[in-house]
Amino acid sequence: MAMIDIKTIAGRLGAFAGDRAGGVLPFFAFALVPLIGLGGGFADYARATAVRTQLNAAADAAALAAVGQIVMTKPLADAKAEGERFFDGDSAKYKSMLSSRTVTVTANGLRRSVEVTYTAAVPVYFMNLFGITKIDVAGRASSTGMRAPYIDFYLMLDNSPSMGVAATQADIDTMVANTSDKCAFACHDLSNANNYYKKAKKLNVQMRIDVVRQASQQLMDTAKTTATLPGQYRMAAYTLGPSCDGKKLTEIQPITSDLTAAKSATGKIDLMTIPHDQFDKDQCTDLNQAMTAMNGVISSTGDGSSPASPQKVMYFVSDGVADYANPQCSRKKVSGTRCQEPIDISFCKAIKDRGIQIAVLYTTYLPLPTNSWYNDWIKPFSADIPKKMEACASPGLFFEVSINQGIAEAMNALFQRVVSKAYLSS
């Protein structure tokens, strides 16, 4: 390949420029202007593109800043001001070129949308040769964010006699081995100094109510560490009552943002007592009455966008079996009007129809093959219990914990489901 050095090129250009034949020099001079303009135009456009890239980056940063975690807790005007601050800071070197910039923030429940637009005029140098003084550029950026929801949790904890069943298979085996009638239930019979509740305590057997109490306290800790805003999660706790005598929904802790106080209060939850064996025919678990009372306790739900408008969630923990007086019992009545049956979901529906979410933690009603009562009265409908409990729950908010599974872990997992669902549904 022939090599042409710079001197050769320079010499040929010089000869071209000095050539007088055929008007080559005037033609060369005439062509030089557009050639310079064309090359300069590319330079002007490259500069305008670089400016647009920088302004687009400023718009992106502004859009994201306006939906930042902290900013999302503030009024829309503050979010708009934050977006403008970011854009102006990142585009300061191009301030003289900007013709306009707007930051628009809109809200829909917990969701906020931001749109940032700008226009600018980038001055040119070489294109002035053709009467062009500027290149107009424009851009747009947008983003969407979710505000952290405020949620009130109302815990309804089943502390009826059936929650006195031993919590694990090992505990069940211990109770069966140490009771004359091979009973795994630790009934809190106040008339009997040797009642099975005291026996369970003496044997260090954990009952379901013990685990539920501990899990409820851990839930308060989870809510406290999960919250990103002051007072974001408030808690209240209720049981079916301290005693089967005069049983009714009982407030353990009114709704509060003081989760430390709520934890302390739930630490006092214990198994419902009975005055004596066969008291009130053992009709101590009136879930319908409890559900009706809870419906009256929980005020109207909000959208979760502020402390004044929290979402409302009822947290229902139970083994799902009612034992109460009901002439219209869905199952064969034990005697008279005594009815043992799965929960009546119409009472759940009445709560959900008000927009209140129900999160259900079903502590599986454990099969007790050595217990004749279980075999005669519970086993025939045992397959329906989890179905009814799931139907009671709001979609996606049902969790079942069977024998030897962690109730505390399940309660925390259900809490995370509730919080996630609050974001997604808004």
User: Mind listing the pLDDT tens digit for each residue in 340-396?
Assistant: 999 999 999 999 999 999 999 999 887 778 778 888 999 999 999 999 999 999 999
Tell me the pLDDT of the chain averaged across its residues.
86
pLDDT of residue 241: 95
List pLDDT tens digits, range 32-50.
455 455 555 678 888 899 9
pLDDT of residue 39: 54
Nearest to 160 by CA among 264, 216, 238: 238
Look-up of token digits 């042409």:
4
The residue range of the domain holding 64 is: 19-146
Report residue 54: phi and psi, to 5°. -65, -40
Checking if the pLDDT of 182 tops 80, the result is no
* Residues 341 and 229 reside in one and the same domain: yes
For residue 264, tell me if it sits in a domain.
yes
The mean per-residue pLDDT over the stretch 150-179 comes to 89
Nearest to 345 by CA among 376, 318, 367, 374: 318
Q: What is the gyration radius of the CA atoms in the chain, in angstroms?
A: 37
Inter-axis angle of helices 76-90 and 24-65, to 10 degrees?
150
For residue 13, tell me if it sits in a domain.
no
* Residues 76 and 193 reside in one and the same domain: no
* Residues 58 and 167 reside in one and the same domain: no
Beta-bridged to residue 123, according to DSSP, are 134
217 — pLDDT class (breaks 50, 70, 90): very high
Asked which of 112, 127, 146 is the last residue of a domain, the reply is: 146
Range list of β-strands (E), 169-277: 188-189, 233-239, 250-256, 273-274
pLDDT of residue 6: 38
* Residues 137 and 161 reside in one and the same domain: no
Residue with more model confidence, 69 or 289: 289
4 — pLDDT class (breaks 50, 70, 90): very low
For residue 89, tell me if it sits in a domain.
yes
* Residues 301 and 157 reside in one and the same domain: yes
How many residues are recorded in the chain? 426
Sign of the alpha-carbon torsion through 81, 83, 89, 91: negative
Q: What is the CATH number of the domain that holds 294?
A: 3.40.50.410
For residue 160, tell me if it sits in a domain.
yes
The tokens for 104 are: 């628009």
Give helix then strand counts, H and E, for the chain.
Answer: 12, 13
* Residues 137 and 94 reside in one and the same domain: yes
* Residues 295 and 380 reside in one and the same domain: yes
pLDDT of residue 41: 62
* Residues 129 and 222 reside in one and the same domain: no
Asked which of 117, 146, 175 is the last residue of a domain, the reply is: 146
Q: Which amino acid is at 124?
A: V
* Residues 89 and 170 reside in one and the same domain: no
* Residues 129 and 165 reside in one and the same domain: no
Residues 6+ positions from 62 with CB-CB distance below 8 Å: 83, 84, 86, 87, 90, 103, 114, 116, 141
Sign of the alpha-carbon torsion through 396, 401, 405, 411: positive
247 — pLDDT class (breaks 50, 70, 90): confident
Asked which of 146, 164, 180 is the last residue of a domain, the reply is: 146
* Residues 250 and 205 reside in one and the same domain: yes
Q: How far apart are CA 1 and CA 392, in angstroms?
A: 87
The mean per-residue pLDDT over the stretch 219-224 comes to 95
For residue 8, tell me if it sits in a domain.
no
Nearest to 160 by CA among 316, 322, 369, 293: 322
Range list of β-strands (E), 283-373: 311-318, 321-325, 338-342, 357-363
Which helix (H) or strand (E) element contains residue 287?
A: helix 287-297
Indicate the number of domains in the chain.
2
